[in-house]
Amino acid sequence: MQSFMSVHSGHDDFIHDLAFDWYGTRMATCSSDQKIKVWEMQEDKWTNTAEIKAHSGSIHRVSWAHPEFGSVLASCSSDRLVYVYEEQLDGRTGQRTWRKQGRLVDSRDSVQDCQFAPRHLGLRLATASLDGRVRIYESNDVMNLSAWSLVEEFEAASSSHQTKCNVACLTWNPSPFDPAMLCVSMASSVKVWEYGAGARRWCTVASLDGHTDEVHDVAWAPNMGRSYHLIATACKDGYVRIYKLHFQRASQTYVPSLVGKVSHGVSGGASIEVWRVCWNVSGSILASSGDDGVSRLWKSDFQGNWQPILVAAATPQQTQTQTRTLQAYGQGNASSMNQPSNSSSCGTAQPSNQHLSSQSFATPSQQTSTRPQVAASSTLFSSHPSFTSPPAPTSTSNPTFATPPTHSPFAPISESKQEDMGISFSAHRTFQ
């Protein structure tokens, strides 16, 4: 394990979320201390360039808009508010400052998630709230972000729910070739919604079943020429599930199927709670993070089995343990990755004959650049369009990897206890 960089965040409480901008050169963090911090990569170091006192409650999520619309951030909080911020240049001082532009006040309970829509849908923002509703806002004028309209709103919980249904998270379908679609989690239920142009309303088109506990996060994979969609979920029961969503033209319906189910890990005989999942830009590698403060990357082999290919830990002490356990863990998971979601598949996987050997990334001095390949604060994984899994080395010496170009990153982060409130950039590579 080589720690490329460790940054003290300066937050006074738990860090709930971290998001990269589209280029991967800036990131935003939010915390229970009611602050947002904006960071920028300067001379191979992350520098805190701005601090925003945003809300009067814990800030749950931050989201960057596409750079076509400028430097725009959104945040949501337990104070029931959603704010939109824009970075502007002060003509008098020449300094860049973040100004609070939009204030969205429609939620009647804590807002758990907010996500900007893909670029082709315009400057839109979707929010998920504990009042059980999903709201979609649109900017009236991209040159004046103080004016936002509530254009769509729907009850995510079905009428059959007898109790209040909390909407925990959501994710957009990034494909420009499909109608506007959202995947929304409500307790242990996950549903896919589509906006019908004819009906002019949002309708449920699929249900992703099989979860035995609350779902903390959902992630829709970019569709790079596939004839189907992939959606990943992070569940409190300790499992990461990958669903395939296929559109049948004959019946004009979406058919979901569970194609992967992997355990994030086990500690003390109990499953480790999973908090975040996220895809790389090609939708071929999945990152997960949990209460163990460790990030894992998963990739499907030619047989459709999801294998662990990398582990990133926030501390060296965790790394030594995780490096040893990943080898046995990868063997055991290989035989049960694609088991159906039922009680029989939730047990411990049987080990296979496949062995994983572990080797570390090259040290920063050995690399052509010191930009981090993987950033982890429980989990922080930056991905790029040209990024592919490096080939296995032919010798036992540490391989050297060139730094990929920056573009369109994503960054999940766990809500696990981060007592030092720091951000650690680290990576550990395992090869089969």
**Which comes out higher in pLDDT, residue 412 or 256?**
256
Q: Could you tell me where the DSSP H helices lie in 274-348? A: 316-334
Phi and psi at residue 249, to the nearest 5°: -70, -35
β-pairing, 133-139 with 148-155?
antiparallel
Lowest mean pLDDT among 59-73, 212-226, 252-266, 305-319: 305-319
When pLDDT is averaged across residues 368-383 and rounded to a whole number, the result is 36
pTM for the model: 0.74
Asked if the model's pLDDT at residue 36 lies above 80, the reply is yes
Residue 77, pLDDT score: 95
When pLDDT is averaged across residues 87-96 and rounded to a whole number, the result is 86
Residue 316, pLDDT score: 54
When pLDDT is averaged across residues 178-198 and rounded to a whole number, the result is 92
Q: Which of 57-61, 308-312, 411-415 has the highest mean pLDDT?
A: 57-61
Residue 86, pLDDT score: 95
Domain 26-309, CATH class in plain words: mainly beta
Residue 95, pLDDT score: 86
Asked if the model's pLDDT at residue 349 lies above 90, the reply is no
Share of the chain above pLDDT 90, in %: 52
**Which comes out higher in pLDDT, residue 269 or 213?**
213
Contact 38, 89 (CB under 8 A): no
Asked if the model's pLDDT at residue 420 lies above 80, the reply is no
| Banded pLDDT at 363 (limits 50, 70, 90) | very low
Contact 211, 235 (CB under 8 A): yes
Asked if the model's pLDDT at residue 33 lies above 80, the reply is yes
Residue 267, pLDDT score: 81
Helix (H, G, I), strand (E, B) or coil at 331: helix
Q: 157, 143, 152: which is closest to 106 by C-alpha?
A: 152
Residue 7, pLDDT score: 80
- Count CB neighbours of 108 within 10 A: 11
Contact 305, 337 (CB under 8 A): yes
CA distance 267 to 264: 10
Based on the number of CB atoms within 10 Å of its own CB, is 48 exposed (0-12), middle (13-18) or buried (19 or more)? middle
Residue 372, pLDDT score: 32
User: In this predicted model, what pLDDT tens digit does every residue of 127-168 receive, in sequence order?
Assistant: 999 989 999 999 999 999 999 999 999 998 754 444 456 788
- Count CB neighbours of 68 within 10 A: 11
When pLDDT is averaged across residues 190-198 and rounded to a whole number, the result is 91
Contact 52, 10 (CB under 8 A): no
Residue 6, pLDDT score: 76
Lowest mean pLDDT among 130-144, 198-212, 264-278, 353-367: 353-367
**Which comes out higher in pLDDT, residue 329 or 56?**
56
Where in the chain are the domains? 26-309
Q: Which of 13-27, 73-87, 90-104, 149-163 has the highest mean pLDDT?
A: 73-87
Residue 164, pLDDT score: 55
Lowest mean pLDDT among 182-186, 195-199, 200-204, 230-234: 195-199
Calculate the alpha carbon distances from 410 to 40, 208, 376, 379, 383 in Å. 15, 23, 12, 11, 6
Lowest mean pLDDT among 201-210, 236-245, 277-286, 358-367: 358-367
Asked if the model's pLDDT at residue 391 lies above 70, the reply is no
